[in-house]
Structure 1
Amino acid sequence: MALIKKDSMLQLGHNFISGDQIPEGKDEYYLRFEQSNSNNYRQLRRDEIQLLQANQNLSDDWNNLLVTDKFNPSFVRNCNFYGLVRIGDLEEYFLEYHDMRYPVGLYNSTIVSCDLGNNVSLNNVNYVSHYIIGNESILFNVNELQVSNYSKFGNGILKKGEDENVRIWLEICNENGGRKILPFDGMLTSDAFLWSKYRDDDELMHKFVEITENQFSATRGFYGTIGEQCVIKNCQIIKDVIIGNGAYIKGANKLKNLTINSSFESRTQIGEGVELVNGIIGFGCKIFYGVKAVRFSLGNNSSLKYGARLINSILGENSTISCCEVLNCLIYPGHEQHHNNSFLIAATVLGQSNIAAGATIGSNHNSRANDGEIVTGRGFWPGLCVSLKHNSKFASFTLLAKGSYPAELNISLPFSLVSINEREDLLQIIPAYWWMYNMYALARNSWKYHARDARKIRYQEFEFDYLAPDTIEEIFEALSLLENWVGADRSRKKDLNGQAGAGYEEIGRATLLNSSKKLNQIEVLGGIVEANSRKTVILKPSEAYNSYREMIHYFAIKTVIEYSRTHKLANLNQIIARLGEGQRSKWINLGGQLVSENDVAELKSKIKDGSLDNWNKIHDHYNYLHRFYEQRKAEYAFAVLKDLHLTRTAVDIENKWNEWLDWAIEIAEKVKDRTFDSRNKDYMNEFRKLPYDNEKEMEMVLGNINDNEFIKTVQTSYLHFLEHVVQYKFPVNAL
């Protein structure tokens, strides 16, 4: 079979679709006319044809070249036209972008069956076919720009007559394809989570495929579109790509089967050496300098830079990946990965995360199969040269100290520091480490992601606070684990203090609540935290237990007070009436948005029964759920208070209320002071001072700690919290 076909020159520019692909009464251009509906074209006058010919232009049929009344043939030189070409206004202007000035007009280009908007500038476009190009766009030095009649623009659909084996899937979370999903324009990490997670629900999986296929037409013959005021220059191959308004693309090697979302308020930019195939790119994205991405989806306001490689993965909003390799991953909003030698594979990362240099997350040498996964909560931070094995799971805000972790891990203690004691061959964990020793970094984590959320187009609202319903539930689980582990450890060591016959949890709780008995460490038997026979040592369990209780209490009071002020609840009686019926529940991190487990179950039911029959309705339902988040979060916080302090009646709450507020004030002061102290270590540590000859030099380089904007923010927040809490200290007979 011949690799290269030949046909009559008369067919060049025609038969983009043919035969039964064309509905009865239509022609091959009917979809193009729907995409670019304009009746302001006319045929060329004889004098215009003569001038075009004098300017070294060629056409297979000048009758197929249609123009507007403001068309000036003087601005068309050395071009070849084939098929139906429609040209908008060409007036005596130049277009300027980044100090480069491009004359309006068509120069040194081959144009096949295209619609060109008003006052465009095409110069040295070697071949452009079947594109609709918006007004005042600039195309300069482009080798190949074309669309096939079966183009899907990155969406995981099939066109009429195509075999299933050509469909594009994203094999996220796992290399074996067991969690694969179909990409589509507008995909959110929430969609990807629902689709990849609930694989046991066959009906739901079927609905997701059906909804995606119905979202896009299977008809052949759609043209590619380039929005208004786009700049595309010095590019090699662009095929089957939709490009939104205001996009800037320079020096790309290959762009194929993509939707590139861009708008004037949220422009997307693609730079030198980039190769992108089979993907969806969100609004306001930046992709520069040798990036390679294949089968991917990129959320709004995210970046790929400096040779990053993203394959079979979804990257959420407000994220950056540079220099490294990411394969088969679902990554929530707020992810940072900047180092050339870091590697992330087959992982679900719930955002606000940072991957350090040398980290190998998901190394596969503990199995011959490629079916492992890693799941991490929010705030995941593996340190330098960390190596992890599938399958592992990490609670929120887990910090892994440098080291190669030889076996699978199940870290269920949030805000922990995990490390390896190589001398004694032990795994060590300090629970609540961030709260006790690095409050500056913990508090700043929440603050910085709010500050960096520069999305102009927001499809979903996210929870960035480190204390939120999802992490509070993890803390409750951690309290239970500590109680059981302490009880088991005391029992093994025969240190029961008169509690013989009691269960582990009861022994552990009594020990941990005994302020006079501080435990330096406890041991957890091998095979519980780590898939290894060696023991795990929990350091500072008493301090961690008390810290976890502080975190729960601070979250609960802070949330209830904020809600009460917002909703003008004047007294404790009104607070109890509004929030007192709430119950604790499990919360799901739905792509960065926190949703109760019951609401997720209802969402899935509505998808399956057809109430939510397209992705736009599903996304609207996310926003609907968010409208109730403040209320449900406050109800949850009040339930947390009752569970933490083992109170149930209104009278008990009244008797303890002022005491609860006083403790919250103490905790808030601790947060403020620890934030300052943990940052001040960088100014007081003698080794940190080594590069500087004097205090002034250090201050000029690092700045004065008292001028630190974030610390000022924390101090101001403390004063506001103090003011607000005092307003809700009620007399004993408030009820």
Structure 2
Amino acid sequence: MSEITTLPADQFGYGFIPPEYLAGNPHEYAFRDMQSNAASRKWRHLSSEEIETLARNGNTCTDWMQFLVEDPFDPGLIRNSLFAGLVRFGPLEAKYLQYHDFVVPVGVTNSRIIACDIGKDCAIHDCANLAHYIIGEKVIMSRIDEMATTNHAKFGEGIIKDGESEDVRIWIDPLNEAGGRSVLPFADMICADAYLWTIYRDDAKLMDRFKEITQNQADSRRGWYGVVGDGSVVKSCQVVKDVNFGPSSYVKGANKLKNLTIKSSPQEPTQIGEGCELVNGIIGYGCRVFYGVKAVRFVLGNNSSLKYGARLIHSILGDNSTISCCEVLNNLVFPAHEQHHNNSFLIATLVMGQSNMAAGATVGSNHNSRGNDGEIIAGRGFWPGLSSTLKHNCRFASYTLLTKGSYPAEMNIPLPFSMVYEDRKSDTLNIMPAYYWMYNMYALERNSWKYSTRDKRKTIVQRIEADHLAPDTAKELMDGILILERLTGRAWYRAQNDASSKPLPSDAELAAKGRELLEGQPEVVDALFISAEEMEQGKRPVRIVKAVRAWRAYRQMLLFYGIRTVASYLSKYAIHFDYFAAQVPAKVSLEWVNLGGQLAPEAKVDGLRDAVRSGIIDSWKDVHAQYDQWWAVYPRDKAENAWEILRRLTGKASISKAEWNGLLDQGLEIRKYVEEQVYITKKKDYANPFRGITYRNDAERDAVLGKVEDNSFIKTARKESVDFAAMVEKVRA
């Protein structure tokens, strides 16, 4: 049976809110009046002359008494249009609006307007059905097939309205496509919120409270109108339903926009382009969504882009990110993620930001069970190489680089800054810890720099740590040292025991022996096959390569992190060394959480969870305020973390002035090494003869690429060394 029903002519444009949901409201326009600030407006009825002019220009209205205007009002600017329900116009004068090269006259032509409030000097042309919208000032709307708001509109949020059943609530399923980590989107959601909701699933009370505060912070009553903010342009679109447009939004050629909040401002305008189909989502400030993008059940962070047919489904993408061409399903991706090229995709993952997906990389969707795909969790700086493929489940430490390969089994790589690669000849999985520090310092240092400089957000809901040496990676480095020591000790004992079945010593004894060998007998370690079979669920050997150099690099990285962080804190806040050393607690926990790109001590995150469970924190606004408080004290927390790292590295419960000055001297040497390696690793591009085969001579190459000495980041690295040296002298004890 057809769902088309007949509506009496006198009801057209009225009854937006069903009578059963009007209880407590004086009339169906109560919310609309609040949104339009009706108390301050000076609408009036039309004069008989104005009605005659409108009718003569081909306009019709179901009831001219429901057509209200503000002065000045030029009725000659409205032509060939139909009006129904209560329609209210702001001032309307003869002028033109121009957006780039698109110029249109102020007024309304060839349109059907149903129960809308239209702001000052708007241009609405060829809009076949515009219903239940509040339109700001100087808005351009042109060639829209259908644009309407329903009485139960949620604008992308995971709430339900009065009288609705739970099954209409919109959930997003990040990290696990089976839905075991579902979250409810809301207008101000950021990755940190989604992380808390996604990861702590065993905390049932917390899960209930998140759902409760999400529902409670929205108005469940029916009858809110859609809004088009001041200075917006919406043109050449097909279907727009239940969408809120922030000020200065620019939308052209979209196929379908449904149930969305589009955040935008004059300082950070959001743009949506041709062929896009976006349903059930939140789009952040300053976003760009162009050219055939398909997004369903999603949150897009501020200053992020979706382009060229990208598919974002059941996913949350953090600020300052770009996805172009690719398919992204069931993911929580922290800020500063880059993913390009048409044949790469990302499925059922948690990627903790500052990451990059190379062409052809297939992270997920390789079934190795009879159920749904599993999960992949990757720390900051994750980079799967060209055409690399992974199977669920996998876990990777921060700054893991996967070289090109089809990895056939699950992996757990706890060693940060590693390069993982396959040796096809010997059928071995090789892991080189500290690869970046040893062989690609340019990329490592430049990444930290670029993630800071590319952060163009003006609306910053959460601050992000961009440095590759920070409390989260420091903990991984400390753990990595112990892992290398234990694996080295185990390899030595296995070599001594040969094929005997003699049991191995305890892990503590293995680590002690490994430390002894790594410190004093590097040639013995180099001769060992250091196995890490627990890092891959497969039968082939897994080998740690360059263990001695990696172990030393990890200690060097930690030393530099500790010295630089403490020195920076003392310098920036003019704190005396003695005062700081006396104030740091006797023991500082190294357990931190990467909370959507912001780093926080785990104890503070646990405290936040307690506060939410108990009702002390009762809104997402309060949660975000907690993030801000953490950031305010982050320099102190980070400095204490770095001090604890130095204490553990030196084996001293306290560090004297002389020892601190000695550490500063070591810091200068490490900074010199960093600067040199930045130059050396970049110069490889010039020394490689194959990099020059497309140039007639070096002069042509330098004209195209520039000289290595003139590289902007190499200059930046040199300046950072000078600044570091000046800071060191400032904070000597």
Does TM, scored on the shorter chain, surpass 0.5? Answer: yes
Counterpart of 2:144 in structure 1 is 142
Measured against aligned partners, the alpha-carbon deviations of 1:409-451 in whole angstroms (never above 9, x if no partner) come to 0000000000011111100011000000000000001000000
1:546 maps to amino acid: R
Return the alpha-carbon distance in structure 2 between the equivalents of residues 599 and 660 of structure 1. Answer: 30
Counterpart of 2:162 in structure 1 is 160
Select which of 61, 64, 70 maps to 1:62: 64
Cα offset for 1:523?
3.9
Counterpart of 2:610 in structure 1 is 605
Measured against aligned partners, the alpha-carbon deviations of 1:90-146 in whole angstroms (never above 9, x if no partner) come to 111100011221100001100000000000000101110000000000001111000
Does residue 715 in structure 1 map to residue 721 in structure 2? no
Counterpart of 1:128 in structure 2 is 130
Does residue 419 in structure 1 map to residue 421 in structure 2? yes
Counterpart of 1:327 in structure 2 is 329
Counterpart of 1:656 in structure 2 is 659
Does residue 558 in structure 1 map to residue 564 in structure 2? yes
1:96 maps to amino acid: Q
Cα offset for 1:578?
3.4
Cα offset for 1:363?
2.6
Select which of 647, 651, 656 maps to 1:642: 647
Cα offset for 1:2?
3.2
The verdict on how the C-alpha distance between 1:628 and 1:251 changes in structure 2, with shifts beyond 3 A counting, is same
537-546 vs 367-376, which deviates more?
A: 367-376
The verdict on how the C-alpha distance between 1:516 and 1:287 changes in structure 2, with shifts beyond 3 A counting, is closer
- For 2:243, what is the secondary structure of its paired residue? strand
Return the alpha-carbon distance in structure 1 between the equivalents of residues 489 and 532 of structure 2. Answer: 16
Return the alpha-carbon distance in structure 1 between the equivalents of residues 20 and 663 of structure 2. Answer: 75
Cα offset for 1:501?
12
The verdict on how the C-alpha distance between 1:580 and 1:25 changes in structure 2, with shifts beyond 3 A counting, is closer
Return the alpha-carbon distance in structure 1 between the equivalents of residues 516 and 540 of structure 2. Answer: 27
Counterpart of 1:513 in structure 2 is 519
Cα offset for 1:35?
0.9
1:508 maps to amino acid: G
Return the alpha-carbon distance in structure 2 between the equivalents of residues 338 and 102 of structure 1. Answer: 37
Return the alpha-carbon distance in structure 2 between the equivalents of residues 78 and 401 of structure 1. Answer: 63
Structure 1: stretches of 5+ with no match in the other structure? 731-735
2:681 maps to amino acid: S
Cα offset for 1:521?
6.5
1:121 maps to amino acid: A
CA contact (8 A) 1:485 1:522 kept: no
Counterpart of 1:699 in structure 2 is 702
Counterpart of 1:205 in structure 2 is 207
CA contact (8 A) 1:308 1:325 kept: yes
Select which of 434, 441, 448 maps to 2:443: 441
Does residue 678 in structure 1 map to residue 678 in structure 2? no
Does residue 687 in structure 1 map to residue 693 in structure 2? no
Select which of 468, 486, 489 maps to 1:487: 489
Does residue 473 in structure 1 map to residue 479 in structure 2? no
- For 1:594, what is the secondary structure of its paired residue? strand
Counterpart of 1:9 in structure 2 is 9
Does residue 33 in structure 1 map to residue 11 in structure 2? no
Return the alpha-carbon distance in structure 2 between the equivalents of residues 580 and 69 of structure 1. Answer: 69
Does residue 542 in structure 1 map to residue 548 in structure 2? yes
- For 2:523, what is the secondary structure of its paired residue? coil
Measured against aligned partners, the alpha-carbon deviations of 1:524-580 in whole angstroms (never above 9, x if no partner) come to 55640000122211110000000000000000000111111112234x423312336
CA contact (8 A) 1:518 1:542 kept: no
- For 2:535, what is the secondary structure of its paired residue? coil
Does residue 529 in structure 1 map to residue 554 in structure 2? no
Measured against aligned partners, the alpha-carbon deviations of 1:374-421 in whole angstroms (never above 9, x if no partner) come to 000000000001100111000000000000000000000000000011
Alignment map for 1:495-510 (pairs within 5 Å): 503-510=509-516
Cα offset for 1:655?
4.6
The verdict on how the C-alpha distance between 1:501 and 1:483 changes in structure 2, with shifts beyond 3 A counting, is closer
Measured against aligned partners, the alpha-carbon deviations of 1:129-188 in whole angstroms (never above 9, x if no partner) come to 000000000001111000111111000011111111111000111011000000100001
Alignment map for 1:248-287 (pairs within 5 Å): 248-287=250-289
- For 2:636, what is the secondary structure of its paired residue? helix
The verdict on how the C-alpha distance between 1:583 and 1:521 changes in structure 2, with shifts beyond 3 A counting, is farther
CA contact (8 A) 2:249 2:264 kept: yes
Cα offset for 1:7?
1.6
CA contact (8 A) 2:522 2:548 kept: no
Select which of 619, 625, 635 maps to 1:614: 619
Return the alpha-carbon distance in structure 1 between the equivalents of residues 451 and 703 of structure 2. Answer: 27
- For 1:175, what is the secondary structure of its paired residue? coil
2:659 maps to amino acid: K
Cα offset for 1:362?
1.0
2:315 maps to amino acid: S
Cα offset for 1:24?
4.1
CA contact (8 A) 1:683 1:689 kept: yes
1:593 maps to amino acid: Q
Return the alpha-carbon distance in structure 2 between the equivalents of residues 713 and 543 of structure 1. Answer: 27
83-92 vs 720-729, which deviates more?
A: 720-729
Alignment map for 1:719-730 (pairs within 5 Å): 719-730=722-733
Structure 2: stretches of 5+ with no match in the other structure? 499-504
Return the alpha-carbon distance in structure 2 between the equivalents of residues 667 and 713 of structure 1. Answer: 17
Cα offset for 1:295?
0.3
Q: Report the TM-score when normalising by structure 2.
A: 0.97
Select which of 338, 341, 353 maps to 1:339: 341
CA contact (8 A) 2:488 2:525 kept: no
Q: Report the TM-score when normalising by structure 1.
A: 0.97
33-42 vs 53-62, which deviates more?
A: 33-42
CA contact (8 A) 1:293 1:309 kept: yes
Cα offset for 1:69?
1.6
Return the alpha-carbon distance in structure 2 between the equivalents of residues 462 and 24 of structure 1. Answer: 45
Cα offset for 1:478?
0.5
Return the alpha-carbon distance in structure 2 between the equivalents of residues 501 and 59 of structure 1. Answer: 84
Cα offset for 1:660?
1.6
The verdict on how the C-alpha distance between 1:649 and 1:136 changes in structure 2, with shifts beyond 3 A counting, is closer
Return the alpha-carbon distance in structure 2 between the equivalents of residues 354 and 584 of structure 1. Answer: 31
Measured against aligned partners, the alpha-carbon deviations of 1:589-631 in whole angstroms (never above 9, x if no partner) come to 0000000010001111111111110111110110011111000
Measured against aligned partners, the alpha-carbon deviations of 1:331-352 in whole angstroms (never above 9, x if no partner) come to 0000000111001000000000
Cα offset for 1:723?
2.1
Q: Which runs of 4+ in 1 moved over 6 A?
A: 499-502
Return the alpha-carbon distance in structure 2 between the equivalents of residues 143 and 125 of structure 1. Answer: 6
Does residue 356 in structure 1 map to residue 358 in structure 2? yes
The verdict on how the C-alpha distance between 1:64 and 1:248 changes in structure 2, with shifts beyond 3 A counting, is same
- For 1:528, what is the secondary structure of its paired residue? helix
- Percent of matched pairs sharing the same residue: 48
2:639 maps to amino acid: A
Alignment map for 1:150-189 (pairs within 5 Å): 150-189=152-191
1:694 maps to amino acid: N
Return the alpha-carbon distance in structure 2 between the equivalents of residues 193 and 720 of structure 1. Answer: 36
Counterpart of 1:733 in structure 2 is none
Cα offset for 1:500?
13
Cα offset for 1:709?
1.4
Counterpart of 2:501 in structure 1 is none
Does residue 368 in structure 1 map to residue 373 in structure 2? no
CA contact (8 A) 1:526 1:533 kept: no
The verdict on how the C-alpha distance between 1:635 and 1:594 changes in structure 2, with shifts beyond 3 A counting, is same
CA contact (8 A) 2:367 2:373 kept: no
- For 1:428, what is the secondary structure of its paired residue? strand
- For 1:636, what is the secondary structure of its paired residue? helix
Counterpart of 2:628 in structure 1 is 623
